[in-house]
């Protein structure tokens, strides 16, 4: 038996490392001919960030949801209600992997993309050299992967507890 907090830390760390490695690798494969990545425009930091938020969140949700449900249903996780104060909000979002992942990705994109744009504008930067862009991908996809993993696991906890309570 393991705590939900421990499960979140372990799953989140794995997801953070995978995203910190895979997202820059994909960007490198697709854009290695670019010397400079502009802030806005067709093949830009803003467009890449918005797409990455949606795709990352969707894929994390598709992989983490079934594993979390299996762990909860098998009774391999323990935790108290005090550990899950955010469950009020989470109880009102979809529990299905596709819809939760898309919703989370859109929300993340709506928050992160304008924030990143604003930071670049305040710093007076029109973009980044390609390797700076790769480093940026590492810096924001790792914590985003961890956060989405955490939200998915907590949402599944709420879903599984509601399902068990409903059957009782």
Residue ranges for the chain with pLDDT beneath 70:
78-87, 162-168
Contact 27, 112 (CB under 8 A): no
pLDDT at residue 82, as a whole number = 43
Q: Residues 66-78: pLDDT tens digits?
A: 999 999 888 888 6
* Torsion angle of C-alpha atoms 38, 43, 44, 49, degrees rounded to 10: -160
Q: What's the pTM value of the predicted model, to 2 decimals? A: 0.91
pLDDT at residue 83, as a whole number = 47
pLDDT at residue 165, as a whole number = 59
pLDDT at residue 8, as a whole number = 95
Whose CA is closest to 112, among 81, 78, 147? 147
For the chain, what's the residue count? Answer: 168
Sheet strands (E) in 33-73: 36-38
Spatial separation of the C-alpha atoms in residues 114 and 94, rounded to whole Å: 25
């Amino acid at each position: 038996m393991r705590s939900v907090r421990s499960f979140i830390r372990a799953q989140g760390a794995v997801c953070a490392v995978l995203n910190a490695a895979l997202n820059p690798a994909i960007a490198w494969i697709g854009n290695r001919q670019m010397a400079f990545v502009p802030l806005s425009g067709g093949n830009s930091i803003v467009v890449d960030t918005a797409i990455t938020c949606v795709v990352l969140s969707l894929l994390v949700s598709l992989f983490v949801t079934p594993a979390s449900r299996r762990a909860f249903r098998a009774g391999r996780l323990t935790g108290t209600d005090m550990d899950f104060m955010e469950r009020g909000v989470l109880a009102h979002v979809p529990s299905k992997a596709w819809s939760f992942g898309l919703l989370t990705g859109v929300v993340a994109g709506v928050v992160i993309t304008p924030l990143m744009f604003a930071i670049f504008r305040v710093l007076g930067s029109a973009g980044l050299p390609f390797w700076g862009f790769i480093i940026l991908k590492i810096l924001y996809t790792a914590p985003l992967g961890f956060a989405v993993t955490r939200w998915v696991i907590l949402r599944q906890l709420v879903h599984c507890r509601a399902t068990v309570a409903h059957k009782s």
